[in-house]
Each structure stands twice: as C-alpha cells, then as structure tokens.
Amino acid sequence: MQSLMQMLEGRARAVDSLLCVGLDPHPADLPTPTPEAAKDFCLRLIQATAPVAAAFKPNAAFFEALGAAGMAAMGEVIAAIPPGIPVILDAKRGDIASTAEAYAQAAFDVWGAHALTLSPYLGRDALEPFLRSPERGAFLLCKTSNPGAADLQDLKLAATGQPLFEQVARLAQAWNTHDNLGLVVGATHPDSLRRVRAAAPELWILAPGVGAQGGDLAAALRAGLRADGLGLLVPVSRAISRAEDPAQAAQSLVQAMRSSRAEGLGQAAALPSQRMALADALLEAGCIKFGQFTLKSGLQSPLYIDLRQLVSFPQVLEQVAAAYLPILRGLAFERLAALPYAAIPIATAISLQGGWPLLYPRKEAKTYGTRAEIEGLYQAGEQVVIIDDLATTGGSKFEAIEKLSAAGLQVRDVVVLIDRQSGAAQALEQAGCRLHAVLTLGEMLDHWEQAGRVEQAHTRAAREFLAGEGSRG
C-alpha cells in the first residue's frame, strides 16, 4: 500500500510536474451560481489540465455555499478526477474527538479525497483521525499566504525565540510517522518558505499564492524545493481557469516550473552542499576542535571530535538527524540500534524524525530488575541498523554486533555521522556489514581549508595524523 506522499511523489515524477490545479468554482466564473454550473466548470478544468496535473485541490467552500446539491456536485467532481492523481480537499478543518473523526470520515470515505487541509491550533490529537491510514493524510497550515498571517504565525516563542510557524514545521516533521503529513506555506513569503524547508527538510509543502496573490514562482521554487527537486506542490486556480486556453496555461506553468527547477538544481550543485553546511555547523558548535589533545590511547592528536556536545545544540542535532534520513531510507530494517553514549541522542532525534523504533545495547548488563543487555522492544529475527557518531577502526561496532546477534537480531548496516577513514569500512566489510557515513573527515578538512575556516597548518597536521592512524589500525 502506497503512502499519501509516495502517491504524490510518483505522480509528480510521472508527469514531471509540481502543479496542483485548484478547482474553485467562484460565482463570478459561473454563468449562473448553481451546483450544475459549478460541476461543469470543474469538469472542464479537469479535462484540460489532467495530463500535467500533479494533484487537484477542490475548494470545499464554493461547493458548500451552494447547499446540499453543491456538496453532491463536489462529490461528482472528485469522482471524475482520473485515478492516480491525488485529491487535496481544501477545507481547513480543525476540531477534536468525535467531530474530527466525522470530518475525516466525510473527507475520505464520503467525498473520496486523499488529503485535507487542517489547522494545527488544536494540537496532535486533533490530527490523529486524519493521519491514521498512510494512504490518506493532511497538509497542515503553517505560514499562510494572506496579509494577516503575521498576526499569530510570526509571534516569537519565549522558549526558543523562533516564530510560531517554525515550531509548527518542526512538530509536523516529528508527527509525520506514516509519510502522510505535509505543510501549507504561502509562496508569497519566500523567506518563511526557506525557513520552513530548513526546519522540515523532508516534508512536502503546498505553496499557494502564485498568480492572483502575487507570489513569484521562481522564488518559491528556490526557497521550497528539496535537494531532489521535489517536495513542493504549487496550487494555481484563477491563472488557469480564467485563461483563454486553460490547457495551454497549465502547460506553460509546468514548463516554467521545469525550467526553474533545473536552474535551481544547477545552482545548488555549484554551491557548498548541505552536507558541508552541516560540517560548518559542527565546527561552530565545537564538536570538532584543533590543537593538541591526549586521546584515550595516550596518543597526541592535533584534532578532537566530541559529538557529545550536540546535546547542547538542539538545532544542530536536528540537522544531524535529518542528514541520516536519506541514507536510512535506502536500507531495509525494522529498528534502529544506537551505540551508547554519544549516538543515543542522535538516534533518538532520528527516531522522532523518521518514525523508526529504537533500541540500544547496554555497555554492561543490568545487575538488577530485568538484567537486560538490550534496552527497548524487539523480536528475534528482526533486522536492525546500527547508529553511531563516529567510525574509526570499527571496534565498538563489533562489540555491539555481537550483543545484538546474540539476541537474535540481524545486522547488515552501520550508519555514522563521520567516518575517520581509519579502516572501519574495510573491517566491517570483511565481517559482512556495510558502513555508510554522512560525512568523511577527509572531505570536511578539504572543505574547511578551501573555505578558509581552519588554518592550513591545522588541516595538514590532521591529515598526517589520520594517515598514521590508518596505518596503526
């Protein structure tokens, strides 16, 4: 069974389009304000734009205004949308308990929509009826396109100093456990769109405001696209429906999106990558230091990596967790297995963002209570992926693999934030495991040296030490 976002992504790739066609039968666009006229208006738009539409978005308000017959017409319009094209019902619901259940039943079971726009104001429990099944879901109002959005959405939170809309984005990232929750962020606010994308790097964003509201398409795409050129859905209504040739208007919009996406991806390739931006954040947080340090082995090292510092930098920790996600989504496993101690907060943040359950092998078995060697729920035979902060020689990984294997768990993959390139990958490969790293220390040193962030004397000393470390390993 496909999740809502898998369906949306599949459709977007199939037609190479990010266009969401708005079905808004405004009375001014109808010969007479009747349910039949509203239905005919929408059916013509569907026929004209279906070849290039990534999704359709009926606006419930215009149908509700026509009474019971208008709502029946909306059902016929949704039923006429070709299979495989997601339908986002724009109704902006928000309520609790049995009322929310009834709204979900109406949207999904009665009207046949795949998603619904929702208000986040009532909190997580008000969203649960809409997110229960992965194939149905919601787009959460985050930073809307209207002028009055700032009245509440830009208010700064006392705890973090960040605007409320950013907190909504972070919550949505955590709540998206079934790959069926997105955000609504107006294309009229590209700076806010950029901030939301940073806070929720994986989520799909519905970005209204292009066209009649004055939002700039290219600016919205630059601000809101994910690194893979997807993740942004652009709803357009009047610029298509009021065009002399709606089919041509839709095609022109899609072509403009394709050009902007290609240009944006080309620019992104020329700029420092997101991974190097993360490397800079680690340096600024003091997780990598240069100087003279005595290691546990007694050796003198010109650099010291201490990722335990991440617990004091929640935003960097969030970036770190997000950087693991693309790697993990390409692997097959049931649970994360964090190595104590530095990797436990990292893996917890990954678990919250990706929705994967977590366990960890203890360094020493408990001498009381359950006497557990592994904390967390699991079943023998399940596959786990080890999460750690660093890879040097692989020694700590082998100890964990032994404990996990003794409990009947299978380990094929180890994912770390930084590979020191001192032999861990080769050692793990010989044991039948694959090492995956978000960053390698070598590329980080190259980047910092080229960017002038670390003195060449420090990077040269670090490389010499690492070369010796590899030969000692």
The catalytic site residues sit at 92
Residue with tokens 């208010």, as numbered in its chain? 155
Cα distance between residue 370 and residue 365, in whole Å: 9
CA distance 209 to 220: 10
Phi, psi (deg, nearest 5) at residue 382: -75, 155
Rg, the chain, Cα only: 25
What gap in Å lies between CA 171 and CA 173, rounded to an integer?
5
Distance of CA 471 to the CA centre of its chain: 40
Cα 284–chain centre separation: 24
Distance CA 373, CA 404 (A): 9
- Contacts of range 347-353, beta carbons closer than 8 Å, 24 or more positions apart: 347/387, 349/317, 349/318, 349/320, 349/321, 350/321, 350/324, 350/325, 350/387, 352/174, 352/321, 353/173, 353/174, 353/202, 353/318, 353/321, 353/322, 353/325
205, 230 in Cβ contact below 8 A? no
Beta strand 288-294 with 300-305 is: antiparallel
CB 21 within 8 A of CB 236: yes
Residue 384, SS3? strand
* Token pair 């304000």: residue: 33
Cβ atoms of residues 163 and 157 within 8 Å: yes
Nearest Cα to 119, choosing from 144, 98, 145?
Answer: 144
**3-state percent helix, strand, coil for the chain, nearest multiple of 5:** 50, 20, 30
Q: Are residues 302 and 465 in contact, defined by beta-carbon separation less than 8 angstroms?
A: yes
